[in-house]
Chain A
Amino acid sequence: MRINRLAAATAVVATLALTATACGGGSSTSGSGDNSSPKTLTYWASNQGTSLENDKQVLEPELRKFEQQTGIKVKLEVIPWSDLLNRILAATTSGQGPDVLNIGNTWSASLQATGALLPFDDAAFGKIGGKDRFLPATIASAGAAGKDPAAVPLYSMAYGLYYNKKMFQAAGIERPPATWDELIADGQKLTKDGKFGIAVEGGNVSENVHHAFTLGKQHGADFFDASGKPAFDTPEAVAAIKQYVDLIAKDKIAASGNAEYANNQTVTDFATGKVGMMMWQSAGANLKSHGMNPDDYGVATVPVPAGASGTKLTSSMVAGINLAVFKNTKNLNGALDFVKFMTGKDEQIQLNRTYGSLPPVKDAQGDPAFATPELQALSKVLGTSAQPLPQVANESQFETLVGTAVKNLLAAAAAGKPVTDDSVKAELTKAQQQMPAN
């Protein structure tokens, strides 16, 4: 029977909510978990590998290592990205969540606001070996400023400008572009014979918002004012987003078909030599699976405006995965032991190497596995020119609404409709007014 899916979804949440209250709901007011079942943990891992099965193969041996060390058995569940946020919400509503879980680091402040995650205060950090072990930029993306972080960083990533060395050589370009003017000039040289200068993942809302944020920083837009109120449609933000959409609309160095890309077609296009550049995070493993030799591409910092300084030099958001502990865990000590284990030097090297990401833990970064030109370039970005997305409670809504606005603008550009300051501003105003009032 095809019942109304929405009613079903609402009903599920509602029922979960009801069960939570029916079960006393006391847990929602109490401070943190207890240690009543010290021998087991449940871990929700996000999908980092090529498939859910692949993730299980990577993680299971590590979990067994942890069991040997501590005697605590970890039940693993790998959750695809598309479901992760909804699953966390359902767990929050019901109080029946995992003990330890992965969250996208940009969601940190939003999830922090639900009060479902254990705050990492000094005591909690003490139990996992201290706050100083982590890169400061990655800690800054683990919760709102001035509050104890709601999570700790686990895998880090940053955006870099990937460029095809052979195509650059053939077009007579000597080095990767450092400014946007150079990028557009290079892009125009590369755009010919059905090939394009750069590819953008226009149908992917998250990708869109990441670039909107980076370009926004370069233009001096923050998207939230000092009091945390949304300010999406400032002239700076309009300029930033127009510049991005113009890659298709005005500069025409990206194919209009890119407006539809949402399944990593950008990487495919880059690996198969259809485009000369892309802005991507940790693409190495993916490019390899498409048969691209690491020597055939280079990774540079994403361009900045000529003469930029300070935060206008921002070239990436701080991307990555954080590790959080559910507040009403029944095994608080075990959960913290597990966080300590996963963020320990050995596991950090092992896991980040497998996933092609960077360790946010300082003492793991020296490992030769991270000395590839690609990872060194990204590591430099992370250390010097990456900024965390706004760490405000409404961050997840900002991601969706602004990302969708950019998606709509790219779709309009691809269909040949004019993109003007006014049309960009109108989309952003609409997005801002859809933010729930808090």
Chain B
Amino acid sequence: MRQRLGRLRLTTSGLPYLLLLPALLLELLIHLVPMVVGIVMSFKQLTQFFIRDWSSAPWTGLGNYHLAVDFSAPVGQSLLNSFWVTCAFTILAVGLSWLVGTTAAIMMQDAFRGRGLLRAAFLLPYALPVYAAVITWSFMFQRDTGLINHVLHDQLHLTSDRPFWLIGDNSFTALVTVSVWRSWPFAFLTLTAGLQNIPRELYEAAAMDGAGIWQQIRRITLPSLRPVNLVLVLVLFLWTFNDFNTPYVLFGKSAPEASDLISIHIYQSSFVTWNFGAGSAMSVLLLLFLLLVTSVYLFITSRRRGADD
């Protein structure tokens, strides 16, 4: 009896670690190893002459990093431009996605006929395959044959000429539109779940005290959603900042300058101009930036939460 107990304890103490081992190994292989390799590559002069055996590429020290951050030369200049474009894009796209998602979630809070159907329809963009959805948008944005110009120009007469949406400066508007269309359903879904945790009594009590709808949203809904929003905004920020699919499908390998997102810019540096070392250096810089932003964000929000408590 005692022996059996002992063996049981032994297994229970060893088993979890044993079960974790495959995941740990895979994590090491899939995430850590390539990351380390990527960092090593960023210090090498890795062009087509060495890709067959990349370890033989000559070391270049910080050369790739110098190239990336030398803002007086075209490579650095275009990286900086791409960085600012990405920042503006992220702020706009995340802000709008959040706003639309929140509005929809609040409006859909009370039951009404057809709510389930409408909710399902809202999630459609989230469920569609990315490529199919974005390519459809690119058809709609075509200057001469697209739906957007047909409505704006031919039917509503809002523009004097047919604007281009996929080349030139307007491409930024097109990019933000598609991105918001793609990510607001996620905000909606998350916030709908969050809203269900707010006790209805709070609203009833507030209504009895004479609080209007805006006051209810400001004093009850938003503060209660705070923990959900903290995660939601962070996740949306990371996804949007790194978004590769949307610009790649909309614009192809070389995006217009006005919408040259950093992910596609790095792709172009590494895989189109075959400068893998410089591309790796830019990736490492991007990783450092995102780590920095994320930690500052988490630091601020956790401190403020501490103050709230």
A contact residues vs B (CB 8 Å cutoff): 2, 4-7, 9-15, 17-18, 20-21, 25, 28-29, 86, 89, 92-93, 95, 110-111, 113-116, 203, 205, 257, 259-260, 262, 393, 396-397, 400-401, 403-404, 407-408, 411-412, 414-415, 429-430, 433-436, 438
Size of the chain B interface, CB-CB below 8 angstroms: 55
- Please determine whether A10 and B164 come into contact, CB atoms closer than 8 angstroms: no
A86 CA / B267 CA spacing, docked (Å): 11
- Please determine whether A411 and B164 come into contact, CB atoms closer than 8 angstroms: yes
Chain A min CB distance to B294 (Å): 13
Chain A min CB distance to B221 (Å): 28
Binary contact track B239-279/A, C-beta < 8 Å → 1, others 0: 10010110000001110110000010011101111111011
Residue in A203, A396, A404 whose beta carbon sits within 8 Å of that of B274 in the complex: A396
- Please determine whether A11 and B34 come into contact, CB atoms closer than 8 angstroms: yes
- Please determine whether A10 and B33 come into contact, CB atoms closer than 8 angstroms: no
| Given A6-B242, A205-B253, residue A110 in contact with residue B52 (CB < 8 A) | no
Chain A residue with Cβ nearest B266: A6
Chain B min CB distance to A298 (Å): 27
- Please determine whether B254 and A436 come into contact, CB atoms closer than 8 angstroms: no
Q: Is the interface of B mostly helix, strand, loop or mixed?
A: helix
Which residues of chain B have C-beta atoms less than 8 A from A110's C-beta?
A: 48, 274
Residue in A5, A10, A29, A203 whose beta carbon sits within 8 Å of that of B34 in the complex: A10
Q: How many A-B residue pairs have CB under 8 A?
A: 150
- Please determine whether B164 and A414 come into contact, CB atoms closer than 8 angstroms: yes
- For B169, B266, B273, the residue with the greatest tally of chain A CB atoms inside 10 Å of its CB is B273
Which residues of chain B have C-beta atoms less than 8 A from A15's C-beta?
A: 29, 33-34, 37
A113 CA / B51 CA spacing, docked (Å): 10
Say yes or no for B142: interface residue by CB 8 A criterion: yes
- Please determine whether B49 and A114 come into contact, CB atoms closer than 8 angstroms: yes
Which residues of chain B have C-beta atoms less than 8 A from A259's C-beta?
A: 164, 167
- Please determine whether A17 and B143 come into contact, CB atoms closer than 8 angstroms: no
Residue in B37, B54, B166, B279 whose beta carbon sits within 8 Å of that of A260 in the complex: B166
A116 CA / B48 CA spacing, docked (Å): 10
A29 CA / B31 CA spacing, docked (Å): 29
- Please determine whether A205 and B254 come into contact, CB atoms closer than 8 angstroms: yes
Which residues of chain A have C-beta atoms less than 8 A from B263's C-beta?
A: 4-6
**A-B contact list, 24 entries, CB within 8 Å:** A2-B239, A4-B244, A4-B263, A5-B244, A5-B263, A6-B267, A7-B35, A10-B34, A13-B276, A15-B34, A17-B51, A92-B51, A93-B51, A110-B274, A114-B48, A115-B52, A203-B167, A396-B48, A397-B273, A407-B254, A411-B256, A415-B167, A433-B74, A434-B75
A414 CA / B143 CA spacing, docked (Å): 11
| Given A259-B164, A397-B274, A434-B273, residue A14 in contact with residue B37 (CB < 8 A) | yes
- For B168, B253, B278, B279, the residue with the greatest tally of chain A CB atoms inside 10 Å of its CB is B168
Chain B min CB distance to A264 (Å): 14
Chain A min CB distance to B230 (Å): 19
Say yes or no for B144: interface residue by CB 8 A criterion: yes
A408 CA / B278 CA spacing, docked (Å): 23
| Given A11-B38, A14-B41, residue A257 in contact with residue B273 (CB < 8 A) | no
Chain B residue with Cβ nearest A1: B239
Chain B residue with Cβ nearest A396: B274
A403 CA / B272 CA spacing, docked (Å): 12
Q: A13-B276, A28-B53, A262-B252 are in contact. List 11 more A-B contacts (CB 8 A).
A: A5-B244, A10-B34, A11-B38, A12-B34, A89-B51, A95-B52, A114-B48, A116-B52, A203-B166, A412-B168, A415-B164
